[in-house]
Amino acid sequence: EAGVTQFPSHSVIEKGQTVTLRCDPISGHDNLYWYRRVMGKEIKFLLHFVKESKQDESGMPNNRFLAERTGGTYSTLKVQPAELEDSGVYFCASSRGLSYNEQFFGPGTRLTVL
Amino acid sequence: DAKTTQPPSMDCAEGRAANLPCNHSTISGNEYVYWYRQIHSQGPQYIIHGLKNNETNEMASLIITEDRKSSTLILPHATLRDTAVYYCIVTFPPNFGNEKLTFGTGTRLTIIP
């Protein structure tokens, strides 16, 4: 089966601009997660969707970040306006659902804000 | 989620068994132990998980102590491709609705030719 895909692989934008990251989970996976690693720090959880509903968004840093998962398929993470400290690698992961424990991660999107 | 403690780095000779320890003394009864790894610049990769029994799959074995306060991930025959950062994570299973992964600093395992 195809893995989790993320687009773009790299994005370079200027401070104040808007960027939208996309994640396509593995087909049939109800759970979708966003994580990020900034400035060489630890990978941090951002939020968790179950189908189209936000199950847990406790890790979202502030209201400049907006995540959506319309129709319960792919998800987008928009950063508006981007700040320098948003630079890092954004990972998406998916898992099938109840009793399936493994999260499958995508390759990540490297975001650079200048 | 319970906090975990891992050594920052380890070396292992190619072909030998790599034993990566993890302490999780505050683990609760419902929390599982998961291991993931991140090979350079790739997304994290699931390795194995367990609750209290030892587990084995095609990638590794997981040994959990009887009191569940520590565990060891064993890669039986390490290859150069096993060079990565290994993360020990303690978290709840999906049906608790709080299965987010909390990554620490992990152990950087280097396989020596």
Hey, are the CB atoms on B101 and A103 less than 8 Å from each other? Answer: yes
Between positions 24 and 43 of B, the ones with CB within 8 A of A are 32, 34, 38, 41-43
For residue B94, pLDDT beyond 90: no
Residue from B34, B100, B102, B107 to probe the interface with A (highest A Cβ count within 10 Å): B100
For residue B68, pLDDT beyond 80: yes
Average pLDDT over residues B28-54: 92
Q: What is the pLDDT of residue A39?
A: 81
DSSP B1: -
Hey, are the CB atoms on A33 and B100 less than 8 Å from each other? Answer: yes
Name the pLDDT band for A72 (thresholds 50, 70, 90). confident
Three-class SS of residue A95? Answer: strand
